[in-house]
Amino acid sequence: DTEVTQTPKHLVMGMTNKKSLKCEQHMGHRAMYWYKQKAKKPPELMFVYSYEKLSINESVPSRFSPECPNSSLLNLHLHALQPEDSALYLCASSQEGDGDQPQHFGDGTRLSIL
């Protein structure tokens, strides 16, 4: 059982739609992350939030918009996505954002763009 919960598990959307991915953790972790993973490739970091503030944006296109409403929640708002954005989107959390702790992953949202 994962302690990082992501919803929805699967999402199919058109290129003009707006949708949001949600992530929740109740481990008291202060850092949360969004990753994108394509088939047969390792996860690629997109965003890092530390103490509810955005600390890293890995030059992600603006059609992806992260939001951290509180220390337990992380959202990823999607708008006008492209077919190449189809991937597994993983959320992770760690105890702190400025140290060397391992990250714990949710089971991901599998996104398909039509």
Partner 1 sequence: RKEVEQDPGPFNVPEGATVAFNCTYSNSASQSFFWYRQDCRKEPKLLMSVYSSGNEDGRFTAQLNRASQYISLLIRDSKLSDSATYLCVVNRGGGYNKLIFGAGTRLAVHP
Residues that bind partner 1 (CB under 8 A): 2, 31, 41-43, 45, 48, 50, 55-56, 88, 90, 94, 96-108, 110
Which residue matches tokens 């599998």?
110
The nearer residue to partner 1, 84 or 100, going by C-beta atoms, is: 100
Sorted by sequence, the CB contacts under 8 Å of residue 67 that are 6+ apart come out as 74, 75, 76, 77
Q: How far is the CB of 100 from partner 1 (least distance, A)?
A: 3
Instruction: Give how far Cα 24 sits from Cα of 20, 44, 67, 84, 86, Å.
Output: 13, 20, 12, 26, 22
The nearer residue to partner 1, 1 or 84, going by C-beta atoms, is: 1
The nearer residue to partner 1, 25 or 94, going by C-beta atoms, is: 94
Do 7 and 106 form a contact (C-beta atoms < 8 A)? no
Q: How far is the CB of 75 from partner 1 (least distance, A)?
A: 18
